[in-house]
Structure 1
């Protein structure tokens, strides 16, 4: 099976990066961990793409100025943020609603500590990033799992489980929208039902929307706060340019809340670690350029990722029909069901890392519903993906001998 050519790849998405000058958690750290220079890496959640030209130009301007002090957010920064969410989602936010942090997960901590009490329950919806329950538990709260349910190959929110699981101590829900790792983009109807459920029971929603820029063709993304006026007042949106524009290392995120009381609680919480002052001058510049000037780059990136998913889907159908993959509606992940291999996680790791020389994310570490799955990052050159899949198929054939031989 030969790699299909990428369409309109004006940004070089199909050109593998020269790693000689790079030092990343996704590749170099994994290679150092395994001591395997041949390893192909599809794990950590970032793209193998060079950032968009306007972002690189913005960073070059900052570097060229030669001054790296505490940054100030000019009017152009707020105009870029407000314009992006209005242009793409019809969500009309105001400058005063916008605060910042160094990342999505660090922004959860002050909100949890200010708006709940030790021993309170906070909902999360696995399989989801392991940081969700970790942040909750580290704050002395109870992590209350509301696992997603899979129906006919599509993941959904389990409202029946919510109804019987919530107690008088349930104070908050951490929503992942779009959802990592299963790739669901929740519909307006689903979010409206969730909002009504939470409003009726006094549950505040923290909505992690960091993948909102990576929405597949024909799919509509609705910010949770844009579902209704009531949803806006009962939620805080946590987002960033980091995932959609591949600037994860620049450490700048947004915290958006209409309700003045929620914003005040967030700012109070920041005083514990002084994160209310300063910030990353490069991250701020990158965010402004991303939200204002990079629509074409993101559109092309999503097109490339969708093409990679179609390639993976066809490859599995021909060469590994024992495995199945959920059809994503957004993000850059393939969520692959490998239960038919009947391998424990450590056995599966041995097969993929030691035999296939491929690194992925193992679903067992993403909570209930993740066991027997792997998350494979599709935001890479097609040649990397093709080689990785051929390696995986060759290794799996030793455990399922009747799997088909992958072509060259």
Structure 2
């Protein structure tokens, strides 16, 4: 059995990395955007090198083997049977969500989200002329996790202009991996009010410890038939720059409308390297690499919890069930999340995300990317602690 190393301190500066080369100074440690500092599964790199050696990079058709890889992966690892005819490929999950909203709403329609949530949900809704409505997640400070206010969700789904419910499963930035029971409750309410579920499952492979991800599309057919799932190997295998994602929709008429919107938005052509990478990622070897990656990130999370307990006990860490994005409660501080982000970057050379970018519910939080070698994360956390403890003194 091959063992993979995730402790290599790869230098990403000077590669036009959005994460690393956007910083105003070279001595800043970036712990912000959801981009891992781990090199991808080696077999992906080898496959891309073979493709590069061909030397011609024209328009690409997506082969049957691509669809087979997606179907076999989700069947084997997540118990979800997908028909290849139900898959629409596109360049990314964000373009997919934007096209789905365009296809299934009219300007002025309501799209329901669960704030705090991934910031591109808001822009996709706004850019299509729709109204964002938040079924705000409930912060359980005892269990240290978010929970769903189902009574509030029921009320908001009942609005005459409610059309879509955008689910984030697993949830970014809250770290919840929604249980099957929670997903069924969501599905029942959406069916009751004839609101379609669009599930962003880009973080589906990144569960921590023993937490189990349930695809929304794997729910009983009577609850999930009309739903739409967006997924990609980009987060799990750190290949976001290769621009590949899939929309899975069983309803043929809805799928036709989405396909038309994909073409209207001009995101119907995909990168040849993304097509190659997905097929290699979704293999048994990719599963072994992913297993070790999850173990490493889980270890980083445990160490982060220990660090905050010792050095920043005034800032509770949300219980993480999935993703590699720690969500930190900074309500004890006398600063906005934007002020915390700016001061830590300027004065202490560490870049975290202000929680306010994920909606008003995230105002008193910061998000920290844990997907890097522990040596780098530890130094970043030291800088965070120095900045926050020094300011409080």
CA distance in 2, matches of 1:79, 1:382: 36
1:366 paired with 2:358, answer yes
Judged with a 3 Å threshold, the aligned counterparts in structure 2 of structure 1 residues 27 and 20 are, in CA distance, closer, same or farther, namely closer
| Two-structure CA RMSD over aligned residues (Å) | 1.5
Judged with a 3 Å threshold, the aligned counterparts in structure 2 of structure 1 residues 325 and 272 are, in CA distance, closer, same or farther, namely same
1:406 is matched with none
- Where 1:271 maps in the other structure, the secondary structure is helix
Residues 118-150 of structure 1: per-residue CA shift (max 9 Å, x gap):
111010111112111111111011111111111
Judged with a 3 Å threshold, the aligned counterparts in structure 2 of structure 1 residues 348 and 107 are, in CA distance, closer, same or farther, namely same
1:119 paired with 2:111, answer no
1:13 paired with 2:6, answer yes
Residues 338-357 of structure 1: per-residue CA shift (max 9 Å, x gap):
11112123431343112221
2:91 is matched with 102
CA distance in 2, matches of 1:299, 1:317: 27
The unaligned stretches of length 5 or more in structure 1 are 1-7, 402-408
Check whether the contact 1:206–1:238 (CA below 8 A) recurs between aligned residues.
yes
CA distance in 2, matches of 1:393, 1:280: 41
Aligned positions of 1:148-227 closer than 5 A: 148-151=137-140, 152=142, 153-166=144-157, 167-227=159-219
- Where 2:235 maps in the other structure, the secondary structure is coil
Stretch deviating more after TM superposition (70-79 or 42-51) = 70-79
1:76 is matched with 65
Match of 1:325 among 312, 317, 325: 317
1:28 is matched with 21
CA distance in 2, matches of 1:241, 1:330: 15
- Where 2:9 maps in the other structure, the secondary structure is coil
CA distance in 1, matches of 2:162, 2:118: 21
Report how far residue 270 of structure 1 moved: 2.2
Residues 166-186 of structure 1: per-residue CA shift (max 9 Å, x gap):
301101011100000011000
Report how far residue 75 of structure 1 moved: 2.3
- Where 2:361 maps in the other structure, the secondary structure is coil
CA distance in 2, matches of 1:273, 1:191: 30
CA distance in 1, matches of 2:358, 2:338: 15
Aligned positions of 1:373-384 closer than 5 A: 373-384=365-376
Q: TM-score, normalised by structure 1?
A: 0.92
1:47 paired with 2:36, answer yes
Match of 1:295 among 278, 281, 287: 287
Residues 194-252 of structure 1: per-residue CA shift (max 9 Å, x gap):
00000010000110000001112211111001111023312110010110110010111
CA distance in 2, matches of 1:314, 1:322: 13
Check whether the contact 2:14–2:21 (CA below 8 A) recurs between aligned residues.
no
- Where 2:362 maps in the other structure, the secondary structure is coil
Q: TM-score, normalised by structure 2?
A: 0.96
1:5 is matched with none
Structure 1 stretches of 4+ with a deviation exceeding 3 A read 273-276
